[in-house]
Structure 1
């Protein structure tokens, strides 16, 4: 499979690991990493999100974990070949049994969200067979630093449930980005950010395309330091 090329790094891909997608790009470009020193990514896949965050924050140290051994290998290759390799580490680890003396200033995840089914395509990455929302939220709360941020991208229809479980774990919703595929369409994804402290709530909208297969000015501006767009 061909690598996916960004301006400062490239992503080697595999049929056995969830490929580069818009959800990951949006999370990597929008998650609040500016003040973080230690970042944990849960479910690294190819390493895309951590690489984008490392480009945005030149000081932070990154640890990625994934339960899929093939994903771990692929991420390690992509980390090693990037200009940020000295600040990036990835290990084969199940979040449910992960322990760390360090707390993290940012915990970021593009988690599995489909209910378990007979489909085998990207089963671990897409279906809640190894990690469900309750487990992700409770463990992230345990690992979060005092002023840390927990940032996820999830389907819009699961947003209320995710917020409810987070509140039960004493995590406050501080930021919400409503992501639409195209102008005047329904919200399809949410980026939600939580912390241990209740601050002023900020909500915004983001549109990916202004018309079919034509990126919006908002998306082009957001990703201009990452994507290599062909001149037309």
Structure 2
């Protein structure tokens, strides 16, 4: 544990991004601030949540977004394996409006889950999804994007140990990976409660999918969003989802 004591875009500044209420430095993180994390942080259901867990928090982006969206009483734990990314997340949190609400833990999630008795009403993750052997620009980025460091079975089993019975486990994945993840989750006893397909343009197929699972059965809510309209301008739905975070929106 490390903590004891232009329109439609965030603003680039000093190797990071400035949002309306906080700044995220990411120069020491293999995975930079991007649309996937912003989607998950803006979309994840936060009604009535009491405690949140971010698995593989990277720069701390999603944890910071969720802190902005929730009440002062909501505590957020964020677990990150990579030491440099965890340290940068800690620094981002300390410089944010919520330094006492977000707690960064530099540890392997499987080990952390086995030794933690806390249960969470919301668990989020922007997880690795490439199979080992897919080349990336650096060993650090390869590690962050490859399922060799956090395979999806381990992610599901760790979340199962930590989720409340009525809680939600939410992730963002490429649409091509999403169906396989759904099947794996259903086999493990999860119930799909939310599916939010995201396309770059209104006239294109979805390229990302946000999924929400729960240990409890219930209705599955299906939604779709296009980031840009056919005229290439940002869609009203995208602006509505993200305007609390992006500058100049």
- TM-score bracket, shorter-length normalisation: over 0.9
The answer as to 2:82 corresponding to 1:68 is yes
The answer as to 2:118 corresponding to 1:102 is yes
* Structure 1 residue 165: Cα displacement: 1.1
The 8 Å contact of residues 148 and 196 in structure 1, kept in 2 or not, is answered as yes
Distance 1:30 1:43 in 2: 18
Q: Deviation per CA, 1:108-150, whole angstroms, max 9, x where unpaired?
A: 0000001112435311221112111111011111111111100
Q: Which residue of the partner structure matches residue 214 of structure 1?
A: 233
Distance 1:71 1:179 in 2: 27
Distance 2:248 2:229 in 1: 16
Using the size of structure 2 for normalisation, the TM-score is: 0.88
The answer as to 2:104 corresponding to 1:90 is yes
The 8 Å contact of residues 17 and 70 in structure 1, kept in 2 or not, is answered as no
* Structure 1 residue 221: Cα displacement: 1.3
Segment of structure 1 superposing worse, 6-15 or 114-123:
114-123
Q: Which residue of the partner structure matches residue 27 of structure 2?
A: 14
The answer as to 2:141 corresponding to 1:119 is no
Question: Could you list the runs of 4 or more consecutive aligned residues of structure 1 that deviate by over 4 angstroms after TM superposition?
Answer: none
Distance 1:213 1:47, change over 3 A: farther
Aligned to 1:186, the other structure's residue is in SS state: coil
**Structure number with higher relative contact order (C-alpha < 8 Å, ≥ 6 residues apart):** 2
Aligned to 2:15, the other structure's residue is in SS state: coil
Unaligned 5+ segments in structure 2 are: 1-13
Distance 1:124 1:108 in 2: 19
Q: Deviation per CA, 1:155-201, whole angstroms, max 9, x where unpaired?
A: 11112211111112111001100110111101101100010111111
Distance 1:74 1:142, change over 3 A: same
Aligned to 1:24, the other structure's residue is in SS state: helix
The answer as to 2:17 corresponding to 1:4 is yes
The 8 Å contact of residues 28 and 85 in structure 2, kept in 1 or not, is answered as no
The 8 Å contact of residues 34 and 56 in structure 1, kept in 2 or not, is answered as no
The answer as to 2:40 corresponding to 1:27 is yes
The 8 Å contact of residues 105 and 149 in structure 1, kept in 2 or not, is answered as yes
Q: Which residue of the partner structure matches residue 214 of structure 2?
A: 195
- What is the Cα-based RMSD across aligned positions, in Å? 1.4
The 8 Å contact of residues 28 and 52 in structure 1, kept in 2 or not, is answered as yes
Count matched residues.
230
Q: Which residue of the partner structure matches residue 93 of structure 2?
A: 79
